[in-house]
Amino acid sequence: MKLSANLSFLFPELSFQDRFQAAAACGFHGVEFLFPYGNPAEEIKNWLKEAKLESVLFNAPPGDWKNGERGIAALPGREEEFQQSFQLALSYAANLNCPRIHVMAGNIPVGYGAHDCYAVLARNLQWAALLAAKNNITLLLEPLNPGDMPGYLYSRTSEVANLIDRLGQPNVKLQLDLYHREIVEGDTVGAIEQFRNYIGHIQIAGVPDRNEPNLGTLDLKAIFKAIHDVGYRDWIGCEYNPMGATQDGLTWAEQYLDR
Ligand X SMILES: O=C(O)[C@@H](O)C(=O)CO
Site for ligand X, residues 25 to 84, rule: CB under 6 A: 34, 59
Residue 203, interface with Mg ion (CB under 5 A)? Answer: yes
Site for ligand X, residues 117 to 176, rule: CB under 6 A: 142, 144
Question: Which DSSP letter does residue 60 get?
Answer: P
What lies within 8 Å, CB to CB, of 141 at 6+ separation is 102, 103, 105, 154, 160, 163, 164, 172, 173, 174, 175
Residue 182, interface with Mg ion (CB under 5 A)? Answer: no
Secondary structure (3-state) at 6: strand
List the Cα angle 207/211/214 in 5-degree steps. 70
Closer to Mg ion at the Cβ: 171 or 175? 175
> Binding partner of residue 59 among Mg ion, ligand X, none, CB under 5 to 8 Å per kind?
ligand X
Candidates 81, 159, 239, 254; catalytic one? 239
β-bridge partners, 201: 175
Closer to ligand X at the Cβ: 52 or 164? 164
**Residue 139 vs residues 5, 90, 229: alpha-carbon distances, Å:** 19, 11, 24
Amino acid at 251: T
Cα pseudo-dihedral 170, 125, 135, 61, rounded to 10: -130
> Contact at 8 Å (CB) between 107 and 151?
yes
Closer to ligand X at the Cβ: 141 or 168? 141
Secondary structure (3-state) at 203: strand
142 given a catalytic annotation: yes
Secondary structure (3-state) at 120: helix
Q: Which one of residues 7, 86, 108, 177 is an interface residue with ligand X (CB under 6 A)?
A: 177
Closer to Mg ion at the Cβ: 177 or 182? 177
79 given a catalytic annotation: no
> Site mask, Mg ion, residues 135-174, x = CB under 5 A?
----------------------------------------
> Binding partner of residue 73 among ligand X, Mg ion, none, CB under 5 to 8 Å per kind?
none
Q: Which one of residues 19, 44, 61, 177 is an interface residue with Mg ion (CB under 5 A)?
A: 177
Query: In whole angstroms, how close is the CB of 6 to Mg ion at the nearest point?
Result: 8
Residue 212, interface with Mg ion (CB under 5 A)? Answer: no
CA 41 to chain centre: 19
Residue ranges that bind ligand X, judged by CB under 6 A: 34, 59, 102, 142, 144, 177, 180, 203, 239
Question: What are the catalytic residues?
Answer: 142, 239
